[in-house]
Amino acid sequence: MAFKSPADVLKSIEDNDIQEVIFSFTDIDGALHAINYESSMVNAKTFSDGVMFDGSSVNGWKAIDESDMALHPDPTTARLNLFCSVPTLTIICDITDPGTGKIYNRDPRGVAKRVEAFVKGTGVVDEVFVGPEPEFYVFDRAAYGVDQHSSFSNVGSSEWLNSDMLYERHSLSHYMEANGGYLATSPRDLGAEMRSKMMAALKSMDVIVEKHHHETAPGQHEIGIKYNTLVLAADDVQMLKDVVKNVAKSYGRSATFMPKPVQDQNGSGMHVHHSLWKNGKPIFAGERYAGLSQTCLWYIGGVMKHVKALNAFANPSTNSYRRLVPGFEAPVLVAYSSRNRSAACRIPCTTSPKGKRVEFRFPDAAANPYLANSAIVMAGMDGIINQIEPGEAMDMDLYKLPPTERNKIPHVCGSLREALDSLDNDRDFLKVGGVFDDDLIDAYIELKKEEVEWLEKSPTPGEFVKYYSV
């Protein structure tokens, strides 16, 4: 289904006997929220006036004395929901403040729209394209909990050697070694059929999918979706997360985009490919290093300059920094290179100027895709506007450098607390053109510091192992 206007949506509701319409939106944390309406209650006024809801019940949003907010459905995002028992449409919404009638400044999708308007206004760029690659784990068993007297987590996959999963889930002894699952095939890959279902579901929702495959760790997977404009790419990531979790559930399994759910295994990233275009032509292609343009090198320079502030959005959980450690293919060193996957910024090999792009490898799948990519674009644009040079490329394997040499290369943040402090001290590039503002940044920092402080006060099972008998 392809919709261009509210009238298209209303006609489809009538023609296809749609019973319910789900209005969904994304909060500052990146979590999806939704409200279901009986289809007869949806009309032209729904699209023009919006749907009222309580903004004070959403983390990081309105105070209770100014809680009224409105969902404004974007008709172009309407899709048939495959996981409902009755015919149902899901529509992604923007958030407006009824007091001003304007897009709410803390609405992540609104931030991404402001980025698109800003870059066009510079005269340098017409379009920003983003290609996200979210990775995820699927477990046959997942349980966890914490209270005043106990904390635990327990996950299991029948792809693991020595797994204690039920025999009917076992892969007839075709187990997968630790970090030995990249592009594995059946019968070692137990998720191929499930990923095909995920891919088919996304395709039916007009998300352009390219491929799927098993990732490096047992139980780890990736579905590749095609690049899109900044806002629509983030929409696609949110739909992908929803589809992955629901299809896994239908198989009796549990999917997670948590960056590091398994100790001593590769974490799940969300590498993002960025490219800029003007007048229908790619402006990242040129005659400089690896076939890049000077503009692209400045874009890289801006991202590298602000990377620690970007970590706050691109790596927004304490668990993110358990992934960003040496030894598990995580890009902890702030460098750029052609094809080198040990660098935080990689230039993929391509034979066409249209395919010239930059891959940023430090973001993870816990990130809010609207805010993370918006922040990266703003850093890159700061690099272009102020002609920030990225320095020399690093074409060697950075993991194998001697410690004295490796320590000379800037590192990403080592903790969420460091990332939030970096964002607090380096925020001006985000506020150019009114894209982000202090209110949003302060609210985000406050929300995330609450997480940090709660977790810092919570003993972990690992701490009992190390310190109980001291």
Q: Which residues are annotated as catalytic?
A: 54, 133, 135, 215, 222, 271, 341, 359, 361
Whether 71 and 49 have beta carbons less than 8 Å apart is answered as no
Whether 91 and 21 have beta carbons less than 8 Å apart is answered as yes
Alpha-carbon distances of 43 from 17, 72, 79, 103, 340, rounded to whole Å:
15, 13, 17, 21, 52
Tell me how far apart the alpha carbons of residues 386 and 382 are, in angstroms, rounded to a whole number.
6
Residue 375 makes CB contacts below 8 A (sequence gap 6+) with: 309, 310, 313, 314, 430, 436
21 bridge partner residues? 37, 89
User: Number of helices and strands (H, E) in the chain?
Assistant: 14, 19
Rg (CA), the chain: 22
Whose tokens are 């969902």? That residue is: 71
Tell me how far apart the alpha carbons of residues 251 and 428 are, in angstroms, rounded to a whole number.
47
How far does CA 296 lie from the centroid of its chain? Answer: 23
Residue 401's Cβ-count burial label (10 Å; 0-12, 13-18, 19+) is middle
SS3 79: strand
